[in-house]
Chains A and B, each alone.
Chain A
Amino acid sequence: MRRTCVDMVHRLAKKDERVVFIGSDLSPGLLAEMKAEMPERHYMEGVTEANVIGMAAGMAMDGFIPFVNTIATFITRRCYEQVALDLCLHDLPVRLIGNGGGLVYAPLGPTHLAVEDIAIMRALPNMTVTAVSDADEMARLMEASLDWPHPIYIRLGKGGDPIISRPENGFEIGRGLAREAASSEPVVLISTGVMTARALEAADILAEQGIDAEVLHFHTLKPIDRDLILARAPRARCLCIVEEHSLIGGLGSAVLDTLVNAGQCRLPPIRRLGIPDRFVDSYGGQDDLLARFGLQPPQIATTIAKSIAERRVARA
């Protein structure tokens, strides 16, 4: 996904002179071909997050579309005021590519984890927030980003993620996707980013247990696809929102805001799976931490099955 994302910057730059790349102390040789081909549109700057955001704003004010890239937590937290004022207040077409969103940097500890990035980016007016599921969907997002007039936060996964997106579903910023269920009152699993692959797997496990589950994928968290949520969520037998993010301010909050703001007084039974409100205190790999927070497919399926069983008991 990461490779595809930066390769797409080069590809877009070839066809559109407005595209520039600005990195903040990334891997040696990143986009070397682009640098050789168009040195005035490839900038590798120092560890200066505040400056690269302002610099991107200045270039965007004069007609460029800068793609700024560094580690997710640094491109969101470290330079939050620059993102808010230089980019969002001016409503400029700058793209922020955040490497290692969520728990990707698990072995490096809490300084490098980005588990509230979606929350703080969502809070900013004019900001568009995205987390695609795989490399193919990333290519579609990058293509669509060229004509999007607002700032975009692009959350990257680790890379090597299974390809679950399908070209026939198309891609439109702000439009969610559904893998439908057969029944009229299914379990509805809602997810974003690389968690959608896990949500699909959890749905398959549930199917083996005779529980019909639909999966909604939101590659765009802001603006969120209100119509899809309002069409699918209220009829759910159980609504389960799964995210590799703090339970504060992420996908779960966006979905619930949508339901409540639309005046949905009768909400379905809801389970929210994500990262609790505390700093992550252990290491290992991304999968280890996902398991620690109950976010692996068998755990998701078990939580949902239990929830349904408890509800049955409560009704009886």
Chain B
Amino acid sequence: MGSRDRGRPTLPEGLSNQCRLDERSRHLRRLILRGLEGGNRGHVGSSMSLVEILRVLYDDILRHDPRNPNWPLRDRCILSKGHGCLALYALLVDKGYVDAGELDRFCLPGGRMGGHPERGKVPGVEASTGALGHGLSIGVGMALAARTQRRDSRVFVVMGDGEINEGSVWEAALCAGKHRLANLCAIVDYNKIQSAGFTREIQDLEPLTDKWRSFGFAVSETDGYDIARLRDAFARTSDNTDKPLAVICHTIKGKGIPFAENQPRWHHHSKFTPEILAEMRDALRPAG
């Protein structure tokens, strides 16, 4: 193992995170790139990492209506790792919640899309996040609200692996387990890199599935880029009807941008050079 691989964990047996990206995945990443260019900054690695998680949720799992973002019967999706917001903005643009032109004003004066997502500014954003460790508690509240109001809405909370260092996440997990919130799904974008470096060196999370299981969750693990497996993992299954669900998605920071993949220094980047932008465009250009 070379020095570049130091701290990089091996994946659990039988799991991969090497699925090739199809044209839809590249299209969504091009929207992210548009935002990065617009603001000349952004969490590159963190956004590219979780595109397929959100893609599958918005394409196949969530009950939602872009023409009626506040539809009471909708499912809720909270991006708790708010710094990955460009991926969420890409999906919200793709689904028609907001105009693509907003990406050109990412983080700029007069823009609606900030460096962390804000409820009320961008339609479809369920909660203002950015400070880490807030989303799961909010999701617990939404799941309890749905139960009390006899709605069959599901609540999905997408968290980063660095984020789940926060104690508040585990307070929320205790609470979700206690209330047996079967309508709640906690998703971990497990790319194994946090801001300061590899999670195994900064704050090891293993054994991660055991942790969630011990808090009362039904847990599954999946390749974070395998569309069919993600779909299966997020769909409610018969063996977790009375437990909240945790889905650990094995991902790659910076996925789709070869020079950024698995590189801690690509967690966030600003002041892109024309050469770097050209390389990113090239990596994401439509096939053929």
Contacts and interface: CB of A to CB of B under 8 A. Distances in A.
Same complex: yes
B149 A48 contact: no
A58 to B, nearest CB: 2
A40 B142 contact: no
Nearest to B140: A55
B220 interface: no
A59 B144 contact: yes
B212 to A, nearest CB: 16
Contacts of A111: none
Interface of B: 72, 118-120, 126-128, 130-131, 133-149, 167-168, 171-172, 174-175, 178
A63 B146 CA distance: 10
Contacts of A20: 148
Contacts of B137: 50-55, 57-58, 82, 86
Contacts, number: 101
Contacts of A109: none
Interface of A: 20, 40-41, 43, 45-46, 48, 50-64, 66, 81-82, 85-86, 89-90
B168 A54 contact: yes
A58 B141 contact: yes
A76 B3 CA distance: 46
A54 B172 contact: yes
Contact of B131 (A58, A61, A81): A81
A92 to B, nearest CB: 10
Given A54-B136, A57-B137, 10 more contacts: A48-B175, A54-B137, A54-B138, A54-B140, A54-B141, A54-B168, A54-B172, A55-B175, A61-B127, A86-B138
Contact of A40 (B131, B148, B172, B175): B148
Nearest to A58: B141
Given A50-B167, A51-B175, A54-B172, A85 B142 contact: no
A51 B128 contact: no
A58 B128 contact: no
Given A50-B168, A81-B131, A85-B131, A61 B149 contact: no
Most buried by A among B72, B137, B148: B137
B135 to A, nearest CB: 8
Nearest to A79: B168
Contact of B128 (A40, A45, A55, A85): A85
A82 B167 CA distance: 13
> Which 6 A-B pairs rank lowest in CB-CB distance, beginning with the nearest?
A58-B141, A54-B137, A51-B171, A62-B145, A48-B171, A50-B168
Contacts of B148: 20, 40-41, 64
Contacts of A61: 119, 126-127, 138, 141-142, 145
Most buried by A among B126, B134, B141, B143: B141
A59 B142 contact: yes
A244 B171 CA distance: 33
Nearest to B175: A51
A46 B172 CA distance: 10
Contact of A82 (B120, B134, B178): B134
A87 B130 CA distance: 14
B140 A62 contact: no
A54 B141 CA distance: 7
B139 A62 contact: no
Most buried by B among A40, A55, A57, A66: A55
Nearest to B151: A62
A57 B141 CA distance: 7
Contact of A55 (B130, B133, B144, B146): B144
B128 A90 contact: yes
